[in-house]
Amino acid sequence: MRKPRRTLITAIAALGALTSVAACGGGSDSAGSGSGSTGGTYTFWDPYPQFDASSAWGKLVAKCGTDAGVTVKRTAYDTTDLGNKALLAAQQGNAPDVMLVDNPVVSTLVEAGILNKTSDLGLDTASIQKNIIGAGTIDGASYGVPIGANTLALYYNKKVLSAAKVDPASVKDWASLTAALKKVRAAGKKGITFSAINTEEGSFQFLPWFWGAGGDLTKLNSAKGVAALTLWKDWVDEGYAPKDVLQNTQTTSWQEFATGEYAFGENGTWQLGNAEKAGFGYGVLSIPAQNGGSAPVPTGGEFVTVPVQKDTGRYDVSKKIVTCLTNSANLLATDTTLAYVAPTAAVQSEQVKADPALKPWIDAVASARGRTSGGLGTKYPVISQPMWTAVQSAVSGAKSPQEALDTAQSAAGKGTS
Protein backbone atom coordinates (compact mmCIF):
# COMPACT_ATOMS: atom_id res chain seq x y z
CA MET A 1 0.00 0.00 0.00
CA ARG A 2 2.03 2.95 -1.20
CA LYS A 3 -0.22 5.89 -1.91
CA PRO A 4 -2.12 4.62 -4.90
CA ARG A 5 -3.22 8.10 -5.85
CA ARG A 6 0.30 9.32 -6.32
CA THR A 7 1.08 6.30 -8.47
CA LEU A 8 -1.91 7.17 -10.60
CA ILE A 9 -0.69 10.72 -11.07
CA THR A 10 2.72 9.46 -12.10
CA ALA A 11 1.16 7.15 -14.62
CA ILE A 12 -0.91 9.95 -16.12
CA ALA A 13 2.12 12.23 -16.27
CA ALA A 14 4.11 9.52 -17.98
CA LEU A 15 1.33 8.99 -20.48
CA GLY A 16 1.26 12.70 -21.22
CA ALA A 17 4.98 12.66 -21.80
CA LEU A 18 4.64 9.75 -24.18
CA THR A 19 1.97 11.36 -26.30
CA SER A 20 4.01 14.55 -26.55
CA VAL A 21 6.96 12.49 -27.73
CA ALA A 22 4.78 10.78 -30.29
CA ALA A 23 3.61 14.17 -31.49
CA CYS A 24 7.22 15.25 -31.96
CA GLY A 25 7.86 12.10 -33.96
CA GLY A 26 4.98 12.81 -36.28
CA GLY A 27 5.94 16.42 -36.80
CA SER A 28 9.51 15.87 -37.86
CA ASP A 29 8.52 14.61 -41.30
CA SER A 30 8.01 18.06 -42.72
CA ALA A 31 11.16 19.48 -41.15
CA GLY A 32 13.45 17.80 -43.66
CA SER A 33 12.22 19.38 -46.84
CA GLY A 34 13.20 22.85 -45.63
CA SER A 35 12.92 25.81 -47.92
CA GLY A 36 11.45 25.77 -51.38
CA SER A 37 13.12 25.15 -54.70
CA THR A 38 14.25 28.71 -55.34
CA GLY A 39 17.64 29.21 -53.75
CA GLY A 40 17.82 27.82 -50.22
CA THR A 41 20.09 25.26 -48.65
CA TYR A 42 20.87 21.83 -50.09
CA THR A 43 22.27 19.11 -47.90
CA PHE A 44 25.24 17.05 -49.05
CA TRP A 45 26.75 13.99 -47.32
CA ASP A 46 30.04 12.32 -48.10
CA PRO A 47 32.40 9.81 -46.47
CA TYR A 48 35.48 12.06 -46.55
CA PRO A 49 35.89 13.38 -42.98
CA GLN A 50 39.58 13.90 -43.78
CA PHE A 51 38.65 16.89 -45.95
CA ASP A 52 37.37 20.02 -44.20
CA ALA A 53 35.72 23.05 -45.78
CA SER A 54 39.08 24.60 -46.68
CA SER A 55 40.26 21.53 -48.64
CA ALA A 56 40.08 21.34 -52.42
CA TRP A 57 37.17 18.89 -52.15
CA GLY A 58 35.28 21.07 -49.65
CA LYS A 59 35.74 24.11 -51.88
CA LEU A 60 34.59 22.20 -54.97
CA VAL A 61 31.38 21.10 -53.26
CA ALA A 62 30.67 24.65 -52.11
CA LYS A 63 31.39 26.05 -55.57
CA CYS A 64 29.08 23.56 -57.29
CA GLY A 65 26.33 24.76 -54.98
CA THR A 66 27.01 28.42 -55.68
CA ASP A 67 27.01 27.74 -59.43
CA ALA A 68 23.59 26.11 -59.08
CA GLY A 69 22.37 29.16 -57.16
CA VAL A 70 22.08 27.52 -53.73
CA THR A 71 24.08 27.03 -50.56
CA VAL A 72 25.36 23.50 -50.00
CA LYS A 73 25.57 22.31 -46.42
CA ARG A 74 28.18 19.55 -46.46
CA THR A 75 28.44 16.88 -43.73
CA ALA A 76 31.18 14.24 -43.74
CA TYR A 77 30.62 10.87 -42.06
CA ASP A 78 32.78 7.83 -41.49
CA THR A 79 32.35 5.40 -44.42
CA THR A 80 31.01 2.56 -42.30
CA ASP A 81 28.54 4.92 -40.67
CA LEU A 82 27.15 6.56 -43.76
CA GLY A 83 24.91 3.73 -44.99
CA ASN A 84 23.04 3.41 -41.70
CA LYS A 85 22.82 7.17 -41.28
CA ALA A 86 21.25 7.38 -44.73
CA LEU A 87 18.67 4.69 -43.89
CA LEU A 88 17.72 6.42 -40.65
CA ALA A 89 17.48 9.80 -42.34
CA ALA A 90 15.29 8.38 -45.09
CA GLN A 91 13.04 6.81 -42.48
CA GLN A 92 12.65 10.19 -40.81
CA GLY A 93 11.96 11.77 -44.19
CA ASN A 94 15.01 14.03 -44.19
CA ALA A 95 17.50 12.31 -46.48
CA PRO A 96 20.19 14.60 -47.92
CA ASP A 97 19.72 16.09 -51.39
CA VAL A 98 22.97 14.67 -52.72
CA MET A 99 24.98 11.89 -51.13
CA LEU A 100 28.30 10.21 -51.88
CA VAL A 101 28.28 6.56 -50.80
CA ASP A 102 30.69 3.65 -51.01
CA ASN A 103 29.74 1.55 -54.06
CA PRO A 104 28.59 -1.68 -52.33
CA VAL A 105 26.14 0.37 -50.23
CA VAL A 106 24.30 1.57 -53.33
CA SER A 107 22.41 -1.69 -53.81
CA THR A 108 21.29 -1.70 -50.17
CA LEU A 109 19.97 1.85 -50.49
CA VAL A 110 18.23 0.96 -53.74
CA GLU A 111 16.65 -2.03 -52.00
CA ALA A 112 15.39 0.42 -49.39
CA GLY A 113 13.87 2.45 -52.21
CA ILE A 114 15.58 5.69 -51.32
CA LEU A 115 17.66 6.42 -54.43
CA ASN A 116 16.59 7.91 -57.76
CA LYS A 117 17.57 6.32 -61.07
CA THR A 118 20.08 8.40 -63.00
CA SER A 119 17.87 8.07 -66.08
CA ASP A 120 14.89 9.58 -64.22
CA LEU A 121 17.04 12.53 -63.24
CA GLY A 122 18.37 12.89 -66.78
CA LEU A 123 22.00 12.37 -65.78
CA ASP A 124 24.33 11.26 -68.57
CA THR A 125 26.36 8.15 -67.70
CA ALA A 126 27.25 7.02 -71.23
CA SER A 127 30.96 7.84 -70.93
CA ILE A 128 31.48 5.91 -67.68
CA GLN A 129 33.32 2.57 -67.87
CA LYS A 130 30.84 -0.30 -67.68
CA ASN A 131 32.59 -2.27 -64.94
CA ILE A 132 32.86 0.79 -62.70
CA ILE A 133 29.22 1.82 -62.92
CA GLY A 134 28.27 -1.87 -62.65
CA ALA A 135 28.38 -1.75 -58.84
CA GLY A 136 25.60 0.86 -58.91
CA THR A 137 23.50 -0.83 -61.56
CA ILE A 138 20.54 -2.90 -60.42
CA ASP A 139 18.26 -4.64 -62.93
CA GLY A 140 19.77 -2.67 -65.77
CA ALA A 141 19.21 0.77 -64.24
CA SER A 142 22.00 2.82 -62.70
CA TYR A 143 21.42 4.69 -59.46
CA GLY A 144 24.47 6.88 -59.22
CA VAL A 145 27.49 8.36 -60.94
CA PRO A 146 30.90 7.09 -59.80
CA ILE A 147 33.18 9.88 -58.66
CA GLY A 148 36.23 7.69 -59.21
CA ALA A 149 37.45 4.16 -58.71
CA ASN A 150 40.21 2.49 -56.83
CA THR A 151 41.35 -1.05 -56.48
CA LEU A 152 44.00 -3.30 -55.01
CA ALA A 153 47.46 -4.35 -56.15
CA LEU A 154 50.68 -5.57 -54.55
CA TYR A 155 53.14 -2.92 -53.49
CA TYR A 156 56.66 -4.27 -53.14
CA ASN A 157 59.74 -3.00 -51.37
CA LYS A 158 62.62 -2.97 -53.88
CA LYS A 159 65.32 -3.08 -51.23
CA VAL A 160 63.91 -6.10 -49.42
CA LEU A 161 63.39 -8.00 -52.66
CA SER A 162 66.89 -7.33 -53.99
CA ALA A 163 68.42 -8.31 -50.64
CA ALA A 164 66.55 -11.62 -50.88
CA LYS A 165 67.56 -11.92 -54.55
CA VAL A 166 63.99 -11.97 -55.80
CA ASP A 167 63.18 -10.47 -59.18
CA PRO A 168 59.72 -8.89 -58.98
CA ALA A 169 59.16 -9.82 -62.62
CA SER A 170 59.34 -13.48 -61.60
CA VAL A 171 56.12 -13.18 -59.59
CA LYS A 172 53.56 -14.40 -62.07
CA ASP A 173 51.28 -16.76 -60.18
CA TRP A 174 50.64 -18.01 -56.65
CA ALA A 175 53.47 -20.56 -56.71
CA SER A 176 56.09 -18.00 -57.74
CA LEU A 177 54.75 -15.50 -55.19
CA THR A 178 54.94 -18.06 -52.39
CA ALA A 179 58.47 -19.00 -53.53
CA ALA A 180 59.43 -15.32 -53.36
CA LEU A 181 57.99 -15.06 -49.84
CA LYS A 182 60.03 -18.08 -48.81
CA LYS A 183 63.24 -16.48 -50.05
CA VAL A 184 62.43 -13.22 -48.28
CA ARG A 185 61.78 -15.07 -45.08
CA ALA A 186 65.06 -16.98 -45.45
CA ALA A 187 66.82 -13.64 -45.85
CA GLY A 188 65.45 -12.59 -42.46
CA LYS A 189 62.80 -10.16 -43.62
CA LYS A 190 59.03 -10.37 -43.45
CA GLY A 191 56.95 -11.58 -46.38
CA ILE A 192 53.59 -10.01 -47.02
CA THR A 193 50.98 -8.05 -45.15
CA PHE A 194 47.30 -7.62 -45.93
CA SER A 195 44.04 -7.02 -44.11
CA ALA A 196 41.95 -10.01 -43.05
CA ILE A 197 39.86 -8.12 -40.49
CA ASN A 198 36.28 -9.16 -39.77
CA THR A 199 34.68 -6.28 -41.64
CA GLU A 200 33.94 -5.48 -45.26
CA GLU A 201 37.60 -4.48 -45.64
CA GLY A 202 38.62 -8.09 -45.04
CA SER A 203 36.31 -9.33 -47.80
CA PHE A 204 37.55 -6.60 -50.13
CA GLN A 205 41.13 -7.76 -49.64
CA PHE A 206 40.30 -11.46 -49.93
CA LEU A 207 38.33 -11.14 -53.18
CA PRO A 208 41.32 -10.82 -55.57
CA TRP A 209 42.59 -14.19 -54.33
CA PHE A 210 39.12 -15.74 -54.26
CA TRP A 211 38.35 -14.56 -57.79
CA GLY A 212 41.93 -15.25 -58.84
CA ALA A 213 41.35 -18.93 -58.09
CA GLY A 214 38.19 -18.78 -60.19
CA GLY A 215 35.90 -18.71 -57.14
CA ASP A 216 32.21 -17.88 -57.39
CA LEU A 217 30.56 -15.84 -54.62
CA THR A 218 27.39 -17.91 -54.81
CA LYS A 219 29.43 -21.07 -54.04
CA LEU A 220 31.84 -20.07 -51.31
CA ASN A 221 32.86 -23.62 -50.41
CA SER A 222 33.88 -24.75 -53.90
CA ALA A 223 37.39 -26.19 -54.29
CA LYS A 224 38.48 -22.86 -55.80
CA GLY A 225 37.33 -20.86 -52.79
CA VAL A 226 39.07 -23.34 -50.49
CA ALA A 227 42.29 -22.99 -52.51
CA ALA A 228 42.28 -19.21 -52.02
CA LEU A 229 41.68 -19.44 -48.29
CA THR A 230 44.31 -22.19 -47.95
CA LEU A 231 46.82 -19.89 -49.63
CA TRP A 232 46.28 -17.19 -46.98
CA LYS A 233 46.22 -19.68 -44.12
CA ASP A 234 49.46 -21.32 -45.25
CA TRP A 235 51.20 -17.95 -45.52
CA VAL A 236 50.26 -17.15 -41.94
CA ASP A 237 51.11 -20.66 -40.68
CA GLU A 238 54.51 -20.59 -42.41
CA GLY A 239 55.21 -17.13 -41.00
CA TYR A 240 55.27 -15.49 -44.44
CA ALA A 241 52.47 -13.21 -43.24
CA PRO A 242 52.09 -11.95 -39.66
CA LYS A 243 49.31 -13.28 -37.48
CA ASP A 244 48.00 -9.77 -36.87
CA VAL A 245 46.63 -9.60 -40.41
CA LEU A 246 43.49 -10.77 -38.61
CA GLN A 247 43.28 -7.37 -36.96
CA ASN A 248 44.76 -5.26 -39.72
CA THR A 249 42.66 -2.65 -41.39
CA GLN A 250 44.04 -1.55 -44.73
CA THR A 251 45.54 1.43 -42.93
CA THR A 252 47.37 -0.58 -40.26
CA SER A 253 48.44 -3.07 -42.92
CA TRP A 254 49.96 -0.14 -44.81
CA GLN A 255 51.72 1.01 -41.66
CA GLU A 256 53.32 -2.43 -41.37
CA PHE A 257 54.48 -2.28 -44.98
CA ALA A 258 55.76 1.26 -44.43
CA THR A 259 58.14 0.02 -41.72
CA GLY A 260 60.29 -1.27 -44.60
CA GLU A 261 60.44 -4.76 -43.11
CA TYR A 262 57.93 -6.32 -45.48
CA ALA A 263 58.54 -7.41 -49.06
CA PHE A 264 54.93 -7.13 -50.20
CA GLY A 265 51.81 -5.30 -49.10
CA GLU A 266 48.35 -5.71 -50.60
CA ASN A 267 46.89 -2.25 -50.72
CA GLY A 268 45.03 0.29 -52.76
CA THR A 269 45.46 3.15 -55.15
CA TRP A 270 44.83 5.60 -52.32
CA GLN A 271 48.19 4.76 -50.70
CA LEU A 272 50.23 6.06 -53.63
CA GLY A 273 50.80 9.40 -51.90
CA ASN A 274 52.02 7.64 -48.76
CA ALA A 275 54.21 5.30 -50.82
CA GLU A 276 56.16 8.32 -52.09
CA LYS A 277 56.76 9.35 -48.49
CA ALA A 278 57.71 5.88 -47.26
CA GLY A 279 61.43 6.47 -47.76
CA PHE A 280 62.25 3.34 -49.74
CA GLY A 281 61.98 2.34 -53.37
CA TYR A 282 58.69 0.66 -54.15
CA GLY A 283 57.02 -0.92 -57.15
CA VAL A 284 53.51 -2.06 -57.94
CA LEU A 285 52.48 -5.48 -59.27
CA SER A 286 49.02 -6.56 -60.20
CA ILE A 287 47.78 -9.34 -57.93
CA PRO A 288 48.53 -12.64 -59.68
CA ALA A 289 45.81 -15.20 -60.34
CA GLN A 290 46.37 -18.79 -59.17
CA ASN A 291 47.68 -19.99 -62.54
CA GLY A 292 49.18 -16.80 -63.86
CA GLY A 293 47.87 -13.57 -65.31
CA SER A 294 46.21 -10.80 -63.31
CA ALA A 295 43.49 -11.72 -60.84
CA PRO A 296 40.19 -9.86 -61.12
CA VAL A 297 40.14 -7.25 -58.37
CA PRO A 298 37.11 -5.60 -56.74
CA THR A 299 36.35 -1.97 -57.52
CA GLY A 300 36.32 0.49 -54.68
CA GLY A 301 35.22 4.08 -54.72
CA GLU A 302 32.14 6.18 -54.17
CA PHE A 303 29.02 6.99 -56.15
CA VAL A 304 27.25 10.35 -56.26
CA THR A 305 23.59 9.60 -55.63
CA VAL A 306 20.40 11.62 -55.36
CA PRO A 307 18.10 10.28 -52.61
CA VAL A 308 14.33 10.44 -53.05
CA GLN A 309 12.71 13.65 -51.78
CA LYS A 310 9.08 14.47 -51.11
CA ASP A 311 9.57 17.77 -52.89
CA THR A 312 10.51 16.62 -56.39
CA GLY A 313 11.16 20.22 -57.38
CA ARG A 314 14.52 19.94 -55.66
CA TYR A 315 15.88 17.44 -58.19
CA ASP A 316 16.72 20.09 -60.80
CA VAL A 317 19.24 21.75 -58.53
CA SER A 318 20.51 18.39 -57.22
CA LYS A 319 21.12 17.33 -60.81
CA LYS A 320 23.12 20.52 -61.46
CA ILE A 321 25.27 19.80 -58.40
CA VAL A 322 25.91 16.18 -59.51
CA THR A 323 26.74 17.23 -63.06
CA CYS A 324 29.12 19.85 -61.72
CA LEU A 325 30.89 17.36 -59.45
CA THR A 326 31.28 14.79 -62.22
CA ASN A 327 32.24 16.93 -65.21
CA SER A 328 35.63 16.07 -66.66
CA ALA A 329 37.58 19.04 -65.32
CA ASN A 330 36.32 18.54 -61.78
CA LEU A 331 36.73 14.77 -61.93
CA LEU A 332 40.38 15.20 -62.78
CA ALA A 333 40.92 17.49 -59.82
CA THR A 334 38.90 15.34 -57.41
CA ASP A 335 40.44 12.04 -58.43
CA THR A 336 43.91 13.54 -58.17
CA THR A 337 43.14 14.67 -54.61
CA LEU A 338 41.68 11.29 -53.64
CA ALA A 339 44.32 9.31 -55.60
CA TYR A 340 41.49 7.54 -57.42
CA VAL A 341 41.30 6.40 -61.02
CA ALA A 342 38.77 8.40 -63.01
CA PRO A 343 35.70 6.53 -64.25
CA THR A 344 35.90 7.85 -67.83
CA ALA A 345 38.48 7.04 -70.50
CA ALA A 346 38.99 10.71 -71.36
CA VAL A 347 39.95 11.72 -67.83
CA GLN A 348 42.05 8.58 -67.34
CA SER A 349 44.26 9.49 -70.28
CA GLU A 350 44.79 12.93 -68.78
CA GLN A 351 45.69 11.33 -65.46
CA VAL A 352 48.33 9.14 -67.11
CA LYS A 353 49.70 12.18 -68.92
CA ALA A 354 50.13 13.93 -65.58
CA ASP A 355 51.49 10.90 -63.73
CA PRO A 356 52.70 7.88 -65.74
CA ALA A 357 52.95 5.83 -62.52
CA LEU A 358 49.17 5.54 -62.59
CA LYS A 359 49.24 3.33 -65.68
CA PRO A 360 49.20 -0.08 -63.87
CA TRP A 361 46.35 1.13 -61.68
CA ILE A 362 44.26 2.20 -64.65
CA ASP A 363 44.80 -1.24 -66.20
CA ALA A 364 43.82 -2.87 -62.92
CA VAL A 365 40.63 -0.83 -62.69
CA ALA A 366 39.80 -1.73 -66.28
CA SER A 367 39.78 -5.43 -65.35
CA ALA A 368 38.14 -4.93 -61.95
CA ARG A 369 34.67 -6.14 -60.94
CA GLY A 370 32.05 -4.52 -58.76
CA ARG A 371 31.31 -6.54 -55.64
CA THR A 372 27.57 -6.15 -56.10
CA SER A 373 27.75 -6.55 -59.89
CA GLY A 374 26.53 -9.53 -61.86
CA GLY A 375 23.06 -9.50 -60.36
CA LEU A 376 24.27 -10.01 -56.77
CA GLY A 377 23.01 -6.67 -55.45
CA THR A 378 21.88 -6.96 -51.84
CA LYS A 379 22.84 -10.63 -51.80
CA TYR A 380 26.46 -9.48 -51.65
CA PRO A 381 26.38 -8.23 -48.02
CA VAL A 382 24.74 -11.48 -46.96
CA ILE A 383 27.59 -13.42 -48.62
CA SER A 384 30.38 -11.06 -47.62
CA GLN A 385 29.85 -11.32 -43.87
CA PRO A 386 30.06 -15.16 -43.71
CA MET A 387 33.05 -14.92 -46.04
CA TRP A 388 35.07 -12.63 -43.79
CA THR A 389 34.08 -14.78 -40.82
CA ALA A 390 35.37 -17.84 -42.67
CA VAL A 391 38.66 -16.08 -43.42
CA GLN A 392 39.01 -15.32 -39.71
CA SER A 393 38.14 -18.88 -38.64
CA ALA A 394 40.60 -20.49 -41.02
CA VAL A 395 43.52 -18.08 -40.62
CA SER A 396 43.22 -18.11 -36.82
CA GLY A 397 43.24 -21.90 -36.89
CA ALA A 398 39.77 -22.39 -35.40
CA LYS A 399 38.59 -24.35 -38.44
CA SER A 400 40.09 -25.80 -41.59
CA PRO A 401 39.50 -23.75 -44.75
CA GLN A 402 37.01 -26.32 -46.02
CA GLU A 403 35.03 -26.39 -42.75
CA ALA A 404 35.10 -22.61 -42.47
CA LEU A 405 33.77 -22.12 -45.99
CA ASP A 406 31.15 -24.85 -45.56
CA THR A 407 29.82 -22.96 -42.54
CA ALA A 408 29.97 -19.71 -44.48
CA GLN A 409 28.10 -21.16 -47.42
CA SER A 410 25.30 -22.50 -45.26
CA ALA A 411 24.98 -19.12 -43.49
CA ALA A 412 25.02 -17.25 -46.81
CA GLY A 413 22.58 -19.74 -48.33
CA LYS A 414 20.15 -19.17 -45.48
CA GLY A 415 20.36 -15.41 -45.96
CA THR A 416 20.02 -15.27 -49.73
CA SER A 417 17.37 -17.91 -50.34
Partner 1 sequence: MTTARVGHRPPRSPAARSGAAGTAEEAEARALRRRRRLRSRLTALAFLAPLAVYLGAFYVYPLYRNLDLSLRDYTVRSFVAGDAPFSGWDNFRTVLDDPTFGPALRHTMLFTFVSIAFQYVLGLALAVFFNRHFRLAGTLRALFLIPWLLPLIVSASTWSWMFNSESGVINYALHLVGASPVDWLTSPDWALTSVVIANIWIGIPFNLVILYSGLQNIPAELYEAASLDGASAWQQFRRITFPLLRPVSAITLLLGLVYTLKVFDLIWIMTKGGPDDSSSTLATWSYQLGFGSLLPKFGPGAAVGNILILIALVFGLLYIRVQRRQEA
Q: Whole-angstrom Cα distance, residue 151 to residue 340?
A: 9
Stretch that binds partner 1, among 218-226, 263-271, 276-284, 388-396 (CB under 8 A): 388-396
Residue selected from 7, 8, 9, 59 as contacting partner 1 according to rule CB under 8 A: 9
331 vs 411, which CB is nearer to partner 1? 411
Can residue 42 be called a binding residue for partner 1 (CB under 8 A)? no
Counting contacts by CB under 8 A, is residue 378 touching partner 1?
A: yes
Q: At what angle do helices 223-238 and 174-186 cross, to 10 degrees?
A: 10
Nearer to partner 1, 182 or 399 (CB): 399
Q: What angle do CA 375, 410, 248 make, to 5 degrees?
A: 80
- Local structure of residue 312 (DSSP, 8 states): G
Task: Based on the shown chain and the rule CB under 8 A, indicate whether residue 1 belongs to the binding site for partner 1.
Answer: yes
Distance CA 202, CA 207 (A): 9
Is residue 32 packed enough to be buried (19+ CB in 10 Å), middle (13-18) or exposed (0-12)?
Answer: middle
End-to-end CA distance of the chain: 56
- Integer Cα distance of 70 and 9 in angstroms: 51
Chosen residue from 150, 392, 409, 412 binding partner 1 by CB under 8 A: 392
Report the distance separating Cα 251 and Cα 195, nearest Å. Answer: 9
31 binds partner 1 (CB under 8 A): no
* Residue 3 interacts with partner 1 (CB under 8 A): yes or no: yes
Is 198 a binding residue for partner 1 by CB under 8 A? The answer is: yes
User: With binding defined as CB under 8 A, does residue 90 bind partner 1?
Assistant: yes
Q: Label residue 99 exposed, middle or buried (CB < 10 Å: 0-12, 13-18, 19+).
A: buried
Within a 13 Å sphere around the CA of 77, how many CA atoms are in the beta-carbon half? 16
For partner 1, give the closer residue by CB, 21 or 223. 21
Q: How far is the CB of 170 from partner 1 (least distance, A)?
A: 27
DSSP 192: E
**Minimum distance of partner 1 from residue 202's CB (angstroms):** 10
Binding mask 240-259 for partner 1 (x = CB under 8 A): --xxx-xx--------x---
Q: Considering the rule CB under 8 A, would residue 114 count as an interface residue with partner 1?
A: yes
Q: Which stretch binds partner 1 (CB under 8 A): 14-22, 34-42, 150-158, 270-278?
A: 14-22
Write the CB contacts of 42 (distance below 8 Å, at least 6 apart in sequence).
65, 68, 70, 71, 72, 73, 97, 98, 314, 317, 318, 321
- Give me the residues that bind partner 1 (CB under 8 A), please: 1-3, 6, 9-10, 13-14, 16-18, 20-21, 83-84, 87, 90-91, 104-105, 108-109, 111-114, 197-200, 242-244, 246-247, 256, 378, 380-382, 384-385, 389, 392-393, 395-399, 404
